Amino acid sequence: MIKLTLEEQKIASKIKRLKDAAGSHSPSIFTICEKLPELEIKVDACFLSNPYATELFLDYLKKDLIDTNKLKDVLEFYPSQNGVIADVISKSIDVDSKNIFVGNGAIEVIQAVMHNFVEKRVIVNIPTFSSYYEFARGDTEVIYYQLKKDENFVLDIKNYIDFVKSKKPDSIVIINPNNPDGGYIKYKDLRFILNNLKEIKNIIIDESFIHFAFEDDEYNLISATELFKEFSNVIVIKSLSKDFGIAGIRAGYGVMDQYKV
Ligand SMILES: *Cc1c(COP(=O)(O)O)cnc(C)c1O
């Protein structure tokens, strides 16, 4: 047991109160700074950030919006609607815009998918990004597939497929690479899973960290974005918060069969 001083105990109970009030996630660093000015925060270990990418983003922001005086327009006027934004994303990921669902952060896409497509039963690998069970509807049963610590949280593909087949869910969630453990399923293994689970109605693949993963020693990257063309049950979800370092902007999208968009 760690022994806290009286002062530390006070701070700890204040943090606990903030946490209880924050809902599913930790309070933001802004809330903690405001409510606990006595704390000197060095690292925010509750939320992920990518300061290198944020720096790069700021360079572009300055060059493209501030130096050109376009920032005022961007702030003053309503933005283009999602169809237009989907067109922009379409060009960079090479997927038709009618297959792209734009969200206010990937969280919004996750919520929409969990509410609209996931039905009676979903399998979520654990440990995982909590939104996938927090946004499950009241009438959706969440079944956890436990990744094992002594196997370094690596997904045992065959065992997983057997588990899914035995539970007969309508939906499964694969975060690749996984948050929080970074476990990565190589492209050919992912295809193996998809080929063996064609009966599952929704296979949700969250690729929010795909830009940190690689397939081989040459750092080649393979995204699953295109797989929905071959497997109509695939829904790919992508946050821009981590790789582009822009969590504050709330930008994310989903790629899926066009009848779902
Ligand atoms: C952070 C995260 C999200 C949410 O991303 P936002 O775009 O910030 O809403 C979704 N999925 C995973 C796996 C994440 O780690």
Q: Can you tell me the distance from the alpha carbon of 197 to that of 174, in angstroms, rounded to the nearest whole number?
A: 13
What's residue 25's pLDDT?
A: 78
Q: Can you tell me the distance from the alpha carbon of 101 to that of 97, in angstroms, rounded to the nearest whole number?
A: 8
Give me 8's structure tokens. Answer: 């530390």
In this structure, are residues 174 and 123 in contact, taking their beta carbons and an 8 Å threshold?
no
Question: 145 CA to middle of ligand 1, Å?
Answer: 20
Q: Is 245 exposed, middle or buried (0-12, 13-18, 19+ CB in 10 A)?
A: buried
**Pocket of ligand 1 contains residue 225 by CB under 6 Å:** no
In this structure, are residues 179 and 151 in contact, taking their beta carbons and an 8 Å threshold?
no
Q: What is the pLDDT along the chain (261 residues), one digit of tens a residue?
A: 788 999 889 989 998 999 899 877 788 888 888 998 888 888 877 788 899 999 999 999 999 999 999 999 999 999 999 999 999 999 999 999 999 999 999 999 999 999 999 999 999 999 999 999 999 999 999 999 999 999 999 999 999 999 999 999 999 999 999 999 999 999 999 999 999 999 999 999 999 999 999 998 888 999 999 999 999 999 999 999 999 999 999 999 999 999 888
Q: Report the predicted TM-score, pTM, of the whole model to 2 decimal places.
A: 0.91
Q: Can you tell me the distance from the alpha carbon of 105 to that of 120, in angstroms, rounded to the nearest whole number?
A: 25
What's residue 243's pLDDT?
A: 92
Question: 207 CA to middle of ligand 1, Å?
Answer: 9
Question: 131 CA to middle of ligand 1, Å?
Answer: 9
What's residue 44's pLDDT?
A: 78
β-bridge mates for residue 246, sequence order:
none
Rg (CA), the chain: 20
145 phi/psi in degrees, rounded to 5: -105, 110
**Pocket of ligand 1 contains residue 252 by CB under 6 Å:** yes
The DSSP bridge pattern shows strands 121-126 and 251-255 to be unpaired
**Pocket of ligand 1 contains residue 125 by CB under 6 Å:** no
Ligand 1 atom with least separation from CA of 175: 13
Question: 153 CA to middle of ligand 1, Å?
Answer: 20
